[in-house]
Amino acid sequence: RSPRPPPTPPRHGVRRQRQMCIRDRHCALLPFNIFRLHQMRRLILKARTASRSEFSLDWIKPYMFEKTYRAGETIFQKGDSPDLLYYLESGRVHLQEIDVYVEPGNIFGEIAFFAPDRGRTGTAAAEDDARVYCIDEASLKQLYFQNPSFGYFLMNLVARRLSENVTRLERGNVR
């Protein structure tokens, strides 16, 4: 006689074991999921607050370094790759292709970071002696992702500047 194979357990027992295993996994992951939910809710609240508030650039200066340009000196040329974002502290900067002057307290050179071809869309030259604060791309990206207010500020700035450029094109005020 050949030995008998061991009896197979009833099917309902296997299903019950699987259900318990899944339940145990859910119970083990519950604290992690609660923590992630809490993080997501905080992030959503920060994003809502950022989209509704005014933004001050004072806090960004410690992440920037200072450069000076003499009157007539080119800061960047059309087509250059974006290496720096600029904040004008004093003087005036002329954006030549669109014949716009940047006044102190404003950022310029931001569009190239978001452009599909990653090139400067115009030439910027110091109209007067200018003192600017600069931030490199890696630091800019880090601040963009860490601070929702700064991210919204940059998005709004780029959208506003692109809209202004379209309006200038429609009026024929572009060289």
135 by DSSP, 3-state: which?
Answer: strand
The residue ranking higher by pLDDT, 4 or 72, is: 72
Question: Which pLDDT does position 17 carry in this prediction?
Answer: 66
Closest CA to 76 of 99, 93, 101, 100: 93
- pTM for the full predicted model: 0.65
Query: Percentage of the chain with pLDDT > 70?
Result: 83
Q: What is the pLDDT of residues 102-152, one digit of tens each?
A: 999 888 999 888 888 888 988 999 999 999 999 998 898 888 888 777 888
H or E stretch at 160: helix 148-171
Q: What is the pLDDT of residues 46-60, one digit of tens each?
A: 766 655 656 667 778
Euclidean distance between CA atoms 130 and 73, whole angstroms: 9
Which range of 20-34, 88-102, 110-124 scores highest in mean pLDDT? It is 88-102
H or E stretch at 100: strand 100-102
